[in-house]
């Protein structure tokens, strides 16, 4: 049976092993969270990971780390060769670089994320993470994985057990991003952040490969009038129900 065949049969797949007997293979429970810039999906994903003991991957960091490597090499983020070379050089340490949060890196990551070859390179890493969520701190076995990004529910993990699409008004998102940047000691002007964010949203939504979009089976959470705690409660309820339905 092919990998696709197993995937199409739902969360539990029963492939035949080489000896012809039935072996039960359990695929990890995956929560996919997508949404535009500064919608609150990152904070939500981190909190959910902690609450439910999931391994967490912020897929935006893969694109940002690629962008940082490309910019550091003095190359153009729109150059496919330079961008793919950057994607291949990402290391776990690179994902913790504080420079990833800069607006220049955000802009460059949005430019190179439209390149199909870059997306293909990073897709493998994300699917590996979903298929084999890494052990948590304290040697705890994760109950599954939560991955946040733009195309997790549509392309990376189309068979995720839970799909959330987290959004908010552009004004609210720009306000949150300004606050985040200032808390990190970075200068931030509201008008500039709003303009850059809208530009990035448009590029992410209009690109031909894996555009920012809600999967048809995603639950949309509009966080405009909500605080992080309220969003967390809504999402936690959805996940708790799905875990119970999967008997996990
Ligand atoms: O934190 P924020 O929502 O502003 O951005 P991010 O999640 O760190 O993503 C940075 C950029 O990477 C986005 O603007 C996208 O262009 C790209 N990205 C993507 O194309 N696909 C993903 N799954 C995640 C990020």
Residue-level pLDDT at 20? 53
Give SS3 for 99.
helix
Contact 188, 216 (CB under 8 A): no
Query: Cα(246) to centroid of ligand 1, in Å?
Result: 30
Element (H, E) at 25: strand 25-26
* 85 or 180, higher pLDDT: 85
Q: What percent of the chain has pLDDT over 70?
A: 90
Q: Tell which atom from ligand 1 comes closest to the C-alpha of 100.
A: 8
For residue 80, count other CB atoms closer than 10 A to its CB: 13
Is residue 165 within 8 A of residue 222, CB to CB? The reply is no
Q: Which of 58, 149, 175, 184 to mutate to test the pocket of ligand 1 (most atoms within 8 A of CB)?
A: 149
Asked if residues 173 and 222 have their Cβ atoms less than 8 Å apart, the reply is no
pLDDT band at residue 104 under the 50/70/90 scheme: very high
Report whether pLDDT(65) > 70. yes
- Asked whether the predicted pLDDT for residue 62 surpasses 50, the reply is yes
- The Å distance, Cα 241 to ligand 1 centre, comes to 28
Q: Where are the alpha helices (DSSP H) in the chain?
A: 3-8, 41-52, 59-72, 80-88, 103-112, 116-131, 170-183, 190-206, 228-245
Supply the pLDDT for residue 99: 95
Q: Looking only at Cα atoms, what is the longest distance across the chain?
A: 65
Share of the chain above pLDDT 90, in %: 84
For ligand 1, the distance from its centroid to the CA atom of residue 29, given in whole angstroms, is 23
pTM for the complete prediction? 0.89
Decide: 223 and 170 in contact? Cβ < 8 Å. Answer: no
DSSP secondary-structure letter at 40? Answer: S
User: 197-209, pLDDT tens digit by residue?
Assistant: 999 999 999 999 9
| 54-58 vs 144-149, strand pairing mode | parallel
- Substitution site in 60, 71, 77, 155 for ligand 1 pocket (most atoms within 8 Å of beta carbon): 60
Ligand 1 atom 19: the closest Cα is on which residue?
150
Q: Which domains does the chain have, with CATH numbers?
A: 3-245 (3.40.50.300)
The answer to whether residue 187 scores a pLDDT higher than 90 is no
Residue whose Cα lies nearest atom 10 of ligand 1: it is 60
The confidence score (pLDDT) of residue 125 equals 95
pLDDT confidence of residue 24? 58
């Amino acid at each position: 049976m092919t990998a696709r065949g197993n995937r199409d049969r739902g969360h539990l797949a029963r492939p035949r092993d080489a000896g012809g007997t039935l072996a039960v293979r359990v695929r990890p429970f995956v929560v996919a969270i997508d949404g535009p810039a500064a919608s609150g999906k990152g904070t939500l994903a981190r909190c959910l990971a902690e609450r439910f003991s999931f391994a967490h991957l912020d897929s935006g960091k893969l694109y940002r780390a690629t962008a940082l490597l490309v910019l550091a090499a003095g190359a153009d983020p729109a150059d496919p060769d330079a961008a793919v070379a950057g994607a291949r050089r990402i290391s776990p340490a690179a994902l913790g670089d504080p420079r990833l949060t800069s607006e220049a890196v955000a802009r460059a990551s949005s430019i190179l994320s439209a390149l199909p070859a870059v997306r293909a390179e990073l897709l493998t890493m994300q699917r590996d993470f979903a298929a084999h969520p890494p052990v948590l701190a304290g040697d705890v076995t994760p109950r599954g994985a939560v991955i946040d990004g733009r195309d997790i529910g549509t392309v990376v993990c189309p068979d995720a057990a839970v799909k959330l699409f987290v959004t908010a008004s552009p004004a609210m998102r720009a306000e949150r991003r300004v606050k985040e940047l200032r808390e990190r000691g970075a200068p931030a002007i509201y008008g500039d952040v709003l303009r850059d964010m809208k530009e990035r949203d448009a590029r992410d939504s209009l690109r031909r490969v894996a555009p920012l979009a809600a999967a048809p089976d995603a639950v949309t959470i509009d966080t405009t009038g909500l605080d992080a705690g309220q969003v967390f409660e809504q999402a936690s309820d959805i996940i708790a129900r799905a875990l119970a339905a999967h008997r996990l």
